[in-house]
């Protein structure tokens, strides 16, 4: 009997040893990012000691503040760790209130990345199709052939509702303090049928109407307000405790302390009005830290599948300067073996840039409340951080850095 079982024992032992070696080798490999069900340690992600601030980045930011009037909050992170974070300047110049790291800024068009994420979540759940016509959800919508996909890529050909509504309110002497809801804005478009700029899918034409309509579709499909949907399905899963969507249609006064200052001058502080009612194209208020958590949650697959995110980051329009395009709610910069997805924002005295270097795992967030063009001079910051210079005139046709 022993002779019969001995080979079996030897084979079994060999397999155990082999499995043990294989397990040890797998342990040496990089651990995958945590999935949607894994614990999300926001405290660890947000950990930062100012004494450890990257000195090169700090020197650049201090110079940007002194020479270009940068006023705002900044966060830079590499490989899952914050290496620089600072609040520089005034939250409200009139009352001499200083910015804090948790100061909430109106994100302006950075909101579009959140709207895109919400739309793609509903697509994954089978609640919409990207080629659905807007008229499926709003039968009175006055334009034919406008799909969700065209809205996501700014190819709808729509007019800009901001200018249309502003002109209408001035002409008809309407109350400019009370904010419009998305549903009310959609009703105005249905009633007045403002002339579109061009035919659907004719060309890329960036404007806020596309994402205001997407915000309206989210409300129609879910039966929730846009604010409630993104709070439940994006902000909470990401641990974004200092982020919310505020509409003037709901709030008489937006409950944040950071005031936007326009025209690059402190005396032009901006008071929210009826155009701060519609959301989806804007309307989310957040902090540099929460946008860092949003970045980590996206990378960890807590919100969307990787294949869905890859689709969102795919070039959907002809390249500008050979490097710049737009996907589904994300601006895209590409160079040889490089990809940065990002978005800018500019609204009522707020101006921002939110950059995510996918290859090098670098995140940069700059939120400002003084629209003075300081964010047009970030080349030295890009160099100090070690990511591509994301500026349209920075590269020539062959991908080399240009002199200008």
| Whole-number pLDDT of residue 32 | 39
Using 50, 70 and 90 to split pLDDT, how confident is the model at 48?
very high
Using 50, 70 and 90 to split pLDDT, how confident is the model at 400?
confident
Is residue 86 classed as helix, strand or coil in its secondary structure?
strand
Place of tokens 């409340």: 369
C-alpha to C-alpha distance for 274 and 80, rounded to whole angstroms = 39
Q: Out of 39-53, 131-145, 154-168, 296-310, which region has the weakest mean confidence (pLDDT)?
A: 39-53
Task: Give me the mean pLDDT over the 152-162 stretch.
Answer: 98
Task: Give me the mean pLDDT over the 40-61 stretch.
Answer: 96
3-state percent breakdown (helix, strand, coil) of the chain, nearest 5: 40, 15, 45
Both structure tokens of 288: 């540099």
Contact between residue 116 and residue 330 where contact means Cβ atoms under 8 Å apart: yes
Q: Tell whether the model's pLDDT for residue 14 goes beyond 70.
A: no
Task: Give me the mean pLDDT over the 5-10 stretch.
Answer: 40
Cα 175 to Cα 142, 180, 189: the distances in Å are 25, 10, 18
Helices (H), 250-403: 288-299, 306-312, 379-385
Using 50, 70 and 90 to split pLDDT, how confident is the model at 395?
confident
pLDDT tens by residue, 17-36:
334 444 444 333 333 344 45
Sheet holding 284-286, edge to edge: 105-106, 284-286, 244-245
Contact between residue 111 and residue 215 where contact means Cβ atoms under 8 Å apart: no
C-alpha to C-alpha distance for 205 and 198, rounded to whole angstroms = 9
Mean pLDDT of the chain: 91
| Whole-number pLDDT of residue 39 | 64
Total H helices, total E strands in the chain: 13, 12
Angle 111-124/209-222 helices, nearest 10 degrees? 40
C-alpha to C-alpha distance for 207 and 231, rounded to whole angstroms = 24
Higher-pLDDT residue of 17 and 51 is: 51
CA Rg, the chain, in Å?
24
- CATH of region 42-385: 3.40.710.10
pLDDT tens by residue, 291-329:
999 999 999 999 999 999 999 999 999 999 999 999 999
The domain segmentation of the chain, as residue ranges, is 42-385
Q: Tell whether the model's pLDDT for residue 351 goes beyond 60.
A: yes
Q: Tell whether the model's pLDDT for residue 3 goes beyond 50.
A: no
| Whole-number pLDDT of residue 305 | 97
97-98 and 105-106 beta bridge pairing: unpaired
């Amino acid at each position: 009997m022993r002779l019969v079982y001995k080979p079996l024992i030897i084979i079994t032992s060999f397999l155990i040893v082999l499995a043990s070696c294989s397990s040890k080798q797998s342990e040496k490999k990089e651990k995958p990012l945590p999935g949607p069900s894994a614990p999300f340690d926001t405290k660890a992600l947000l950990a930062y000691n100012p004494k450890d601030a990257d000195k090169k980045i700090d020197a650049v930011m201090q110079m940007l503040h002194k020479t270009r009037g940068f006023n705002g909050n900044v966060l830079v992170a590499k490989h899952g760790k914050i290496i620089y974070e600072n609040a520089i300047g005034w939250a409200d110049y009139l009352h001499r209130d200083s910015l804090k790291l948790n100061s909430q800024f109106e994100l302006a068009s950075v909101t579009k990345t959140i709207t895109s994420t919400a739309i793609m979540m509903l697509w994954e759940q089978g609640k919409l199709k990207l080629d659905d016509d807007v008229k499926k959800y709003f039968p009175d919508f006055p334009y034919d052939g406008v799909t969700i996909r065209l809205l996501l890529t700014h190819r709808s050909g729509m007019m800009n509702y901001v200018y249309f509504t502003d002109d209408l309110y001035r002409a008809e002497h309407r109350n400019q303090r009370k904010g419009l809801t998305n549903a009310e804005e959609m009703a105005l478009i249905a009633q007045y049928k403002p002339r579109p700029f061009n035919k659907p899918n004719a060309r890329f034409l960036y404007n806020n109407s596309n994402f205001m309509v997407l915000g309206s579709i989210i409300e129609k499909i879910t039966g929730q307000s846009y604010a409630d949907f993104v709070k439940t399905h994006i902000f909470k899963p990401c641990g974004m405790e200092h982020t919310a969507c505020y509409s003037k249609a709901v709030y008489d006064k937006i409950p944040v302390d950071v005031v936007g200052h326009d025209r690059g001058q402190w005396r032009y502080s901006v008071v929210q009005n009826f155009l701060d009612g519609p959301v989806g194209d804007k309307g989310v208020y957040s902090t540099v830290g929460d946008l860092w958590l949003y970045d980590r949650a996206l990378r960890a697959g807590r919100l969307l599948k990787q294949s869905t995110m890859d689709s969102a980051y795919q070039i959907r329009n002809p390249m500008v300067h050979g490097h710049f395009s737009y996907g589904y709610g994300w601006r895209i910069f590409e160079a040889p073996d490089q990809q940065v997805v990002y978005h800018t924002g500019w609204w009522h005295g707020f101006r921002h840039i939110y950059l995510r270097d996918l290859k090098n795992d670098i995140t940069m967030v700059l939120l400002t409340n003084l629209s003075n063009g300081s964010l047009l001079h970030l080349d030295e910051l890009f160099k100090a951080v070690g990511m591509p210079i994301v500026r349209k005139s920075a590269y020539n046709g062959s991908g080399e850095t240009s002199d200008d």
